[in-house]
């Protein structure tokens, strides 16, 4: 069966997740995280991609990014994956694949879901009970977006910049979004859209994207209940 084409459009944000094969560890030491972020920065620049948020977990990665070209994110992840796997295999004297097949992704309606998805990404270590607060986790973009930590990788989305013209006030407004946990229903929406390679947005947005791509980009009508095999994804 041919692979289903990804739902990608230029200049529209995308949330993606890439997991280790069989949930194996992808980052075993600080150097691994640092190398991945350095190469993410390098290849994002080369492929016309802008990273708005990220979190690197032990066995998977979440990214929120925008590309100026339809195939930019695919090119980024291919180059990054090849470089990182070569490094990881050489460092740990292993061979073979590291990542679990293709990354999963969803196109999102920024005015409705940008901040929810940023919170979803940066709260991942909290949901996993690794830390009590996202600022305690070193390998995410929270400290950049919420606390003004310097980064050459993170490029703010226009909606983030519009929170406030003053940087300190903008970061305070962003931190305010994290006072409460993300609604479980929104978490499920993000997971389902990402796992299904669908769009995350209202009906109008889904219809517009479907018309542009000439195919269905939202979930079909509910049928027989089926257990979601990816329900445990963080």
Tokens representing 111?
A: 């005015």
In this structure, are residues 200 and 109 in contact, taking their beta carbons and an 8 Å threshold?
yes
Residue 181: other Cβ atoms inside 10 A: 11
Instruction: Give me the pLDDT at residue 101, please.
Output: 83
- Strand, helix or coil for residue 58: coil
pLDDT at residue 215 in the model? 82
The reply to whether the predicted model has a pTM over 0.85 is yes
Structure tokens at 125: 């270590």
DSSP, residue by residue, the chain: -PPPPP---TTS-EEEEEEBGGG--S--SHHHHHHHHHHHHHHHHHHTEEEEEEEE-SSEEEEEEEESSTTHHHHHHHHHHHHHHHHHHHHHT--S--B-SS-EEEEE-HHHHHHHHHHHHHTHHHHTTS-SSGGG-SSBSHHHHHH----SSB---HHHHTT-SSHHHHHHHHHHTTSSPPPHHHHHHHHHHHHTT-EES-HHHHHHHHHHHTS--SPPPP-S----TTTT--
pLDDT of residue 234: 60
Residues of the chain below pLDDT 70:
1-4, 220-234
pLDDT score at 7: 87
For 61-103, the pLDDT digits (tens) are 999 999 999 999 999 999 999 999 999 999 999 998 999 888 9
Query: What pLDDT sits at residue 220?
Result: 62
**What CATH class has 14-199?**
alpha beta
């Amino acid at each position: 069966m041919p692979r289903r084409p990804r739902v990608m459009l230029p200049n529209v944000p995308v949330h993606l997740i890439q997991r280790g094969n069989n949930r194996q560890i992808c980052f075993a030491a600080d150097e691994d995280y640092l190398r991945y972020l350095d190469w993410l920065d390098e290849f994002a620049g080369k492929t016309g991609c802008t990273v708005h948020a990220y979190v690197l977990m032990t066995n998977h990665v979440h990214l929120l990014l925008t590309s100026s070209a339809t195939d930019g994110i695919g090119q980024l992840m291919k180059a990054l994956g090849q470089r990182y796997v070569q490094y990881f295999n050489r460092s740990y004297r292993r061979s073979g694949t590291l990542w679990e097949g293709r990354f999963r992704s969803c196109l999102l309606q920024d005015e409705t879901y940008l901040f929810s998805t940023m919170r979803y990404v940066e709260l991942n270590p909290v949901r996993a009970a690794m830390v009590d607060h996202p600022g305690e986790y070193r390998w995410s973009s929270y400290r950049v977006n919420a606390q003004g930590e310097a980064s050459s990788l993170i490029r703010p989305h226009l909606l983030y910049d519009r929170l406030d013209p003053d940087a300190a006030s903008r970061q305070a407004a962003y931190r305010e979004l994290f006072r409460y946990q993300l609604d479980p229903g929104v978490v499920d929406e993000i997971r389902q859209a990402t796992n299904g390679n669908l769009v995350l947005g209202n009906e109008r947005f889904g219809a517009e994207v479907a018309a542009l791509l000439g195919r269905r980009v939202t979930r079909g009508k509910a049928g027989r209940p089926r257990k979601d095999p990816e329900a445990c994804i963080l």
